[in-house]
Structure 1
Amino acid sequence: MLDFFFNCQPNGLACDIMKLLYNVSLHFSRSRHRDDLFNQWAPFIISTFNFQGMDITKANQEHYITLVVTCRYGDDILTASSCKPPADLGLNMTNNFELTISSPLKPAGIPLEDAVIAAGRELLASTASWKQGKTYRKVVKTLSRAKDPRDAAGWHCRVSEHKPEEAKFDEMWETLGKNNAMTQLQFVPEIKEAIKVKEISPTASIWSFTYKLPPPFSPRVYTVLQVTHLDDVSPRSVIVVSVPIDLSEDPGLAESTGKGVKGRYVVVERFMELENGNTEWRMATTGTAGGSIPAAIVEWTMASKISEDVPNFMRWLRRRKLSK
């Protein structure tokens, strides 16, 4: 019976359990929290299939899943293990991920963190060929990429370079890297609330940001999955990727978000050490404010608006250092 289970296309509750634990394992495969997560789920599924372990290996460029399963039938307990490719278990394992506001993520479909970071790196690399725009305050360069059929809006980028006396890499890592969301709340005047809805892993969380707009516009709420990655090999760099996520399918999570008109944005930020000792801060974004704000106005003001983040952060960082 167990062998039949592993060789058929799972469905219903069994399929949901397998997909859930499979995704959890992917997210936490490098984390000591993985076993704790399995233990948390066990009480919910012990009457059907108690998944006591899961291991993911890779051979010949293909991933294999080893499951150790205990099935309880009345007073009898049977244990079996199986090693199968994901396709044989009805699972779709892919690293493909596209940065877009057109199709927000769902709680049940959160991608691999590595895939999110890889997409962020690819986007930032592409900014080298984007159209050059204005330079603000003599230090913040802007670039843009027009909307194409894959995009719901155009893309905008800003680039600035900072000397150690202005902002060291470690300072940017501690603030905009480790604590990106709460730091934004401190220096972006439009952000009135930042709520951590759920921590997915030590480097990935769901956040809800409430922005206050000038009258007559209502507040905007942006709910995102935020993933952070530190490359701690010289030259060091940090990438923070924020992508929209729709929590409507999970009422419990949805209740934890701010109140207002729902907008969407993608933001990819990178802080990178340069050979001259400075730190480059590069950010690319696309978004829609939702509601009645015309997309043309958002596009027209985007370059100027994102450029303001740089002096605002630097002023906040100076005050922070002086207060210590």
Structure 2
Amino acid sequence: MRFGLFGTGPWAHMAHAPALAAHKDVEFVGVWGRNEAKAAELAGEYGAAAYSDVDALIADVDAIAVALPPDVQAPIALSAARAGRHLLLDKPVAFTVAEADAIAAAVAERDLASVVFFTRRFVPQLADFLARAGESGGWVEARVDHVGTIFDPGNPFGASAWRRESGGLWDVGPHAVALVMPLLGPVVEVTAMAGPHDMSHVLLRHQGGGISTLTLSVDVPPAAAREEAVFAGESGVITVPTLPWDPVAALGVALDQLVAAADGGPAPALDVRLGAHITAVLAAAAESIRTGRAVRVSAPGFPLG
């Protein structure tokens, strides 16, 4: 599968480019970036071509991988889907429900394969944990604390303008929502409040009646940082295990799924339909923070992974 990479920032260097170059079923064709010099530098590292035009790179490939801010990713993804290209997108798919839904609709209309890279959901240990927990069933509650800082010295994501502006709700929030839905189901109602230090407190009501509580931030004092996820229900209380951090290996799994789906295999569980639902959940949380009211979310009419 011929791939074009859109983006030249830290995530493109840390995950996308090495994973594309290493995958046995991928031909890494080219790189486009908002900075042409950085695109040329990254492309040169992997023997790919640098492109100055979005549409030209889309025209030359079978699929695109995107490592760009959501508001830049969304129009590129929509153009690529309308051109019949498969999609490997970063999270969140978009900042607006309308854009995310348009991408999902274009993918469905053209029977394309898609994956949204919720990083740890592609770690085999987490997939096995969720599968075992799903077999036991009876889960009615979850709590996810995803609280840290990206603004400490040396953190490559601290210079990200969109993360600074949108905060933990949109940066780590997609990972938290993607984690709780396999066991509790899609979200139908959201209530949220914002506190100091970019702290978002989000309460989700799931379709089956379960409730999850998310605490999210990317800008807390280091002593307040923590990352933990717990499920509770008829089978007791379980804690999500500590997982290895290897984004290149995780992206390799995502590529496996995308290539298989494009070849007629099953649709990946973490596709753009799920990505669009998560965008709707996060947009509802942002609305609830602004208005002080609970916000309803339409549950999708398909299974969520």
Common fold: TM-score over 0.5: no
State the structure with more CA Rg.
Answer: 1
Higher strand share: 1
**TM-score after normalising by structure 1:** 0.28
Higher helix share: 2
